[in-house]
C-alpha cells in the first residue's frame, strides 16, 4: 500500500547510526553469485525492496535464493530459463545484470529493457556493444534485448562512458568466457572492486578492478564462497549530509571514509566538522552552513546519488551554491518539490543555482526516485512545521529502515499507510 512519511522539523540529530551493506553492490553480487553451481553466502545484506526484487528475478530464472536474516544464499546450479518476467525486470535497473549472467551460463537471454528511477534516459547501448565484443549476436525487439552466442570469447572492449552497470555486466559475462577480456575505461566505483573480489573468491581471474584497465581471464567454472559487501557509501553520505544540514552530532558506524573523500571535503568546506575513524565517522554541525559548489562525477568524484540530499542542504545554506549534474540528464526533479517548501532554486539545463533561505517551510511533497525521496525527508527535518512525503516506496527500495534509523537519532518522523 502507498505510504507516507510525516516529518516534523526542528530537532537536531544526536546518537549513532549503523550503515548497512551497499545496495548497489549487493544487486551485482547476487547476480554474480548465480554464475556458480554451488552455494554462495552473502552476509550483511541490506534488507531493502530492491534486494528482494533481485532475489525474485534470480528465483524466476531457477536460481536458488534463500534469505536468512541479513544473509542470502545463492546457487545457480538450477538455472533453467533465459527470460526473466517483464513485471520484475521493469522494477529495477540492475535487472540488466541478468543478461550477463544468462549469456555466460546459457548462451541465450531475452531481457526486457530495464526500468529503475525517473532520473533521465538510461540506455543500454554500452552493455549491448560489450556483449557484441564478446561475440554475442544482439538485437532489440519489442522492448526486449535478445542476446545469443554459442560461447562468449574474450576480447578488448573500450567502454565509451565509464558506466557502472556496463562494467559489472562485462565482468559477470567475461568470467566464464573463453580467453582474456580487457576492459578499457571501466567504472572505478568501490562496488566494481567489491564485485571483482566476490568473483575472484568464486575462482574467477580478475585483475585491475578499481583502475583504468580490468583484465578478466575466463575460467570454465566458478565455485561457492562467502562474502560481505562493502558498507553503503551512499547511505553513509546521506546521513552525513542530513546531520550537517539539520545540526547536531552523530557517529556513523560501518563506513569507509576513503569511499567518501569528496563529499567529506565539500561538507567541511561548508562548515561541518567531520572526524574520521577507521570504520566510523563523527559529524558535528550547527545546522547553518556556507554555500559551496559541487559537480557530480564518476568515482572518486562527488556521487550523483548524493546530489539531491546536497541540494537540499544548499537550500538553507548561507549564500549561493551551484550544483552541476554531469551523470544523469533528469536528476533535478526533486527541486520542483523543494520549491513548494519555499526553496529559491533556478535550474538551467545541467546546473542548479541555490540561493539559501533562512528556513524551509513544511509542505506536502512527492518522492520521484530513491535519492530524491531521502532528500525530501531531510528537507522536512530542516523545515519549519510538518512535511508530508509521499511516494516513499522509492525510499524503501534503497534504504533499510530509513525512518527508524532517523528516529533513533531523535528525528520526528512517522510512517503512515
Of 125, 137, 212, 226, the one binding ligand UD1 (CB under 6 A) is 125
State the minimum distance, in angstroms, from the CB of residue 189 to ligand UD1: 6
d(CA 156, CA 338): 45
| Binding segment (CB under 6 A) for ligand UD1, from list 104-112, 119-127, 194-202, 225-233 | 119-127
Of 100, 165, 229, 309, the one binding ligand UD1 (CB under 6 A) is 165
Interface of this chain with ligand UD1, residues 319 to 358, rule: CB under 6 A = 327-328
Of 91, 105, 127, 259, the one binding ligand UD1 (CB under 6 A) is 127
Of 280, 305, 337, 403, the one binding ligand UD1 (CB under 6 A) is 305
Q: 203 or 300, CB closer to ligand UD1?
A: 300
Q: Which of 114, 138, 131, 202 is nearest to 169 (CA)?
A: 131
Asked if the peptide bond before residue 412 counts as cis, ω within 30 degrees of 0, the response is no
Residue 296 binds to ligand UD1 (criterion: CB under 6 A): no
Dihedral sign from CA coordinates of 41, 258, 368, 192: negative
Residue 378 binds to ligand UD1 (criterion: CB under 6 A): no
| Binding segment (CB under 6 A) for ligand UD1, from list 124-132, 277-285, 332-340, 374-382 | 124-132
Phi first, then psi: give them for residue 221, nearest 5 degrees: -150, 150
State the minimum distance, in angstroms, from the CB of residue 54 to ligand UD1: 9
- The neighbour count for residue 109, using CB atoms within 10 Å, is 28
* Contact between 223 and 202 (Cβ < 8 Å): yes
Of 161, 205, 207, 261, the one binding ligand UD1 (CB under 6 A) is 161
If DSSP codes are grouped into helix, strand and coil, which group holds residue 317? coil
State the minimum distance, in angstroms, from the CB of residue 186 to ligand UD1: 10
What is the DSSP track for 172-222?
A: HHHHTSBSEEEEES----HHHHHHHHHHHHTT-EEE-TTSSEEEEE--S--
Residue 193 binds to ligand UD1 (criterion: CB under 6 A): no
Phi first, then psi: give them for residue 100, nearest 5 degrees: -60, -45
- The cell numbers describing 194, all together, are 567489491
CA-to-CA separations, 289 to 165, 252, 311, in angstroms, rounded: 35, 20, 12
Of 82, 100, 112, 122, the one binding ligand UD1 (CB under 6 A) is 122
- Interface with ligand UD1: number of residues (CB under 6 A): 21
Q: 113 or 357, CB closer to ligand UD1?
A: 113
Q: Give the sheet arrangement for strand 364-366, strand by strand.
A: 364-366, 386-390, 4-8, 412-416
- Contact residues toward ligand UD1 (CB under 6 A) are 24, 27, 93-94, 121-127, 161, 163-166, 187, 304-305, 327-328
Amino acid at each position: 500500500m502507498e505510504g507516507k512519511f510525516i516529518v516534523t522539523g526542528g530537532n537536531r540529530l544526536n546518537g549513532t547510526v549503523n550503515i548497512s551493506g551497499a545496495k548497489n553492490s549487493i544487486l551485482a553480487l547476487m547476480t554474480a553469485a548465480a554464475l556458480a553451481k554451488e552455494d554462495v553466502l552473502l552476509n550483511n545484506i541490506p534488507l531493502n525492496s530492491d534486494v528482494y526484487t533481485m532475489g525474485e528475478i534470480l528465483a524466476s530464472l531457477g536460481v536458488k535464493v534463500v534469505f536468512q536474516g541479513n544473509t542470502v544464499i545463492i546457487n545457480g546450479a538450477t538455472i533453467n530459463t533465459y527470460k526473466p518476467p517483464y513485471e520484475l525486470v521493469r522494477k529495477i535497473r540492475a535487472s540488466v545484470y541478468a543478461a550477463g549472467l544468462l549469456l555466460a551460463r546459457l548462451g541465450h537471454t531475452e531481457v526486457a529493457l530495464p526500468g529503475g528511477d525517473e532520473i533521465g534516459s538510461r540506455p543500454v547501448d554500452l552493455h549491448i556493444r560489450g556483449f557484441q565484443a564478446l561475440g554475442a549476436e544482439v538485437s532489440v525487439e519489442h522492448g526486449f534485448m535478445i542476446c545469443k552466442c554459442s560461447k562468449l570469447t574474450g576480447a578488448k572492449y573500450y567502454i565509451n562512458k565509464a558506466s557502472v552497470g556496463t562494467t559489472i555486466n562485462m565482468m559477470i559475462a567475461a568470467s566464464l568466457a573463453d580467453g582474456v577480456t580487457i576492459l578499457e575505461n571501466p567504472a572505478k566505483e568501490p562496488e566494481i572492486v567489491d564485485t571483482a573480489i566476490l568473483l575472484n573468491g568464486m575462482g574467477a581471474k580478475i585483475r585491475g578492478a578499481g583502475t583504468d584497465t580490468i583484465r578478466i581471464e575466463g575460467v570454465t567454472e566458478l565455485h561457492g564462497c562467502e562474502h560481505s559487501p562493502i558498507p553503503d557509501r551512499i547511505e553513509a553520505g546521506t546521513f552525513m549530509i542530513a546531520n550537517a544540514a539539520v545540526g547536531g552530532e552523530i557517529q556513523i558506524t560501518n563506513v569507509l571514509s576513503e569511499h567518501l573523500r569528496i563529499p567529506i571535503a565539500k561538507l567541511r568546506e561548508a562548515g561541518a566538522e567531520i572526524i574520521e575513524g577507521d570504520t566510523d565517522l563523527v559529524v558535528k554541525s550547527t545546522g547553518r552552513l556556507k554555500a559551496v559548489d559541487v559537480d557530480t562525477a564518476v568515482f572518486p568524484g562527488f556521487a550523483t546519488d548524493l546530489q539531491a540530499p546536497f541540494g537540499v542542504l544548499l537550500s538553507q545554506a548561507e549564500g549561493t551554491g551551484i550544483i552541476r549534474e554531469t551523470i544523469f540528464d533528469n536528476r533535478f526533479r526533486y527541486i520542483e518539490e523543494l520549491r513548494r517548501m519555499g526553496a529559491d532554486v533556478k535550474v538551467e539545463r545541467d546546473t542548479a543555482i541555490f540561493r539559501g533561505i533562512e528556513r524551509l517551510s513544511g509542505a506536502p511533497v512527492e518522492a520521484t526516485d530513491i535519492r530524491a525521496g531521502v532528500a525530501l525527508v531531510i528537507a522536512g527535518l530542516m523545515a519549519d512545521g510538518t512535511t508530508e512525503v509521499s511516494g516513499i516506496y522509492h525510499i524503501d527500495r534503497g534504504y533499510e529502515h530509513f525512518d527508524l534509523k532517523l528516529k533513533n537519532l531523535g528525528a520526528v518522523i512517522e510512517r503512515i499507510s
